[in-house]
Amino acid sequence: MTVSVLLVDDHPVVRTGLRAVLDAGDGITIVGEAATGEEAITLTSHLNPDVVLCDLRLGEGIGGVETTAALRSLDPAPAVLILTTFDRDAEVFGAIEAGAAGYLLKEVAPEVIVEAIRQAARGGMYLTPDMSARVVQGMRNPLPKLTGRELEVLKLLATGATNREMARSLFVTEATIKSHLVHIFTKLGVDSRARAIHVAWETGLV
């Protein structure tokens, strides 16, 4: 029995490359291509692929994590494999939490992709060794769970906003902002806004 695959990537060149790579693999049939998350969702509901091979960064519209979540809530739900260039922690964990069956970096060899698709079609997970290492380490000291408000503040902070500006933006007083900041700092394990901005970028929380 052959595995049906939908390709999702905003780069035509990458889609072409994947098509070439996967056509070489036995038992894999590409049933469609999408350039955006929205497209991927509608195509999936029509074509019912076994596996959706999806990039994380999808240009204009919704991102890969949101797309994954939407796809996984369909019935029947396809297995979703993330194939991307980036390895920001927040995105890796976000994708897995959203129900991805695997997370591959584009620098992997073609055979790995084929194998991962087979695995995903069988209902399994596939993670490259460094990714699984990352995940288990992520379980050990998990990303601090910021509350909604704290995340808003952190995003503003990452743009270089001052306390006063953040207070204006969020319609609260500076005291409130400072309160949020203290919580953010302790959760992130830093002691200055500059370092908070740094880890925000590093982990992809921005």
Q: Using CB under 7 A as the criterion, which residues of the chain lie in contact with DNA when the complex forms?
A: 145, 147-150, 162-164, 167, 170, 172-173, 175-176, 178-182, 185, 191-194
How many whole angstroms separate alpha carbon 44 and alpha carbon 60?
Answer: 19
Q: Which does 48 bind (CB under 5 to 8 A by kind): DNA, its own copies, none?
A: none
The entry of its own copies, DNA, none near residue 113 (CB within 5 to 8 angstroms by kind) is its own copies
Task: Report residue 141 as tokens.
Answer: 């000291």
* Beta strands across the sheet bearing 28-34: 28-34, 3-8, 51-54, 79-84, 102-105, 126-127
Q: Contact between 146 and its own copies (CB under 8 A)? A: no
Binding span for its own copies by CB under 8 A among 43-51, 67-75, 128-136, 190-198: 190-198
Q: Could you give phi then psi for residue 38, rounded to 5 degrees?
A: -60, -45
Is 168 a residue that touches its own copies (CB under 8 A)? no
Among 88, 106, 118, 134, binds its own copies (CB under 8 A): 106
Min separation Cβ 76 and its own copies, Å: 27
- Residue 46 interaction partner, one of its own copies, DNA, none, beta carbon < 5-8 Å per kind: none
Residues that bind its own copies (CB under 8 A): 10-21, 57, 59, 83, 85, 106-110, 113, 157-162, 190, 192-199, 201
